[in-house]
Amino acid sequence: MKIVQVQTQAEAGGAQRISDMIGEGLRARGHDIRTVFMYRKTDVYDRDPYADFILMAPPRGLPGQLRAAFGLAGYLRNARPDAVITFQHYGNVFGTIGARLAGTNPIIANQSGAPQSTGMRGVLTQIDKLMGTLGLYHANVVNSSWTEAQFDNFPKAYRRRTSRIDHGVPAPSTTPDKVAARTAFGLPQQAWLAVSSGRMAPSKNQIALAGVLVHLPDIHIAIAGTGPERDAITAFAQANGVADRLHLVGEVPPSRIFEFLAAGDAYAFSSLTETFGLAAVEAAICGLPVVANKLDVLREVLTTDDGEAAALFVDADAKGIAEGLAELVARPELAARLAAAGRQLKEQYSPARMCAGYEALLLSRSLPHGCNPVDHLQSA
């Protein structure tokens, strides 16, 4: 089957990691699959042989957005894929429209955020509700029980196209050396170091991690990522005299994320909103004790099938995260218990299982009312 995945922007983010795994897994199953980005934001996919770009820079204003949308439609008409998988809000909307114009069937959308009622996200929610209710895409993938529940008030016609496929989360084939990892990223060898990763945006709340350093004068924090909040985080650290203990290592490509995580003694996840929390689960699987915001979805995905918590859940402000990290420092046995539970998540979130779920949707070609072709995969 010839498949195109539609992403909004090319950068090292969680949604992009998922499409990378789906692409790799479905190619291994014999499918021809490429990913097209509506625009290039960073250079992380420049050398990916399976990646294409509509625009080589972020669009400016409405004219730029229209160029991206029409360019995507033209790309899909020329590619003539057998199926399209879309990601993120704009990717879902414009990918579905472009796929329809190209005569593609099936179209699978991914819900990367809970429904919103205000602002542009509110507008996109209403468009998504209409598209899903009318059946403009054939399946609608959610990645957790919590996310699925957010759509309980949507029309029945929308909900019957919903399928739950938990994210696959990769695990390292070997454990990188901590000393070498710290050297590679320019991090202090002797410090107790908490690491974190993710796009630097207000919703990820990394400024709270800089605030942690005000409360805990003996630890360091390293953050992998880039984004619009970087300058604010740097300014806060300088103003509060903690810049020497805050290490912003920039964007880390997926091929090096395990090396970065190996540098840490713990992982801090301050995000204010998630539908899964891929970065936190990835860190847990790597054996890092996790301190995370006490969101319901994080409690769900960071708990093993045996009911063991793989994270210490706290308020996601500087004080709450600092208290959680301080507890890990003071109680090595707690850190070891969380790390052991985290490693058990490897089988729960197998990338192969995720890819099998997507393949089941793709090969079904149509979704009868009330039928979820991946139910057997979720209970296997």
Same fold, 2-168+350-379 and 178-348: yes
Q: What is the pLDDT of residue 373?
A: 45
pTM: 0.88
Q: Where are the domains of the chain?
A: 2-168+350-379, 178-348
For residues 200 and 250, give the distance between their C-alpha atoms in angstroms, rounded to a whole number.
10
What is the domain class of 2-168+350-379 according to CATH?
Answer: alpha beta
Q: What is the pLDDT of residue 252?
A: 95
Q: What percent of the chain has pLDDT over 70?
A: 96
Q: What is the pLDDT of residue 112?
A: 77
In CATH, the architecture of 178-348 is 3-Layer(aba) Sandwich (3.40)
Q: What is the pLDDT of residue 105?
A: 85
Phi then psi for 194, rounded to 5 degrees?
-95, 140
Q: What is the pLDDT of residue 374?
A: 46
Regions of the chain where pLDDT drops below 70? 365-380
Q: What is the pLDDT of residue 25?
A: 97
Instruction: Kindly report, residue by residue over 118-142, the tens digit of the pLDDT.
Output: 998 899 999 999 999 999 999 999 9
Q: What is the pLDDT of residue 365?
A: 58
For residues 152 and 136, give the distance between their C-alpha atoms in angstroms, rounded to a whole number.
19
Instruction: Kindly report, residue by residue over 334-377, the tens digit of the pLDDT.
Output: 999 999 999 999 999 999 999 999 999 998 854 444 444 444 34
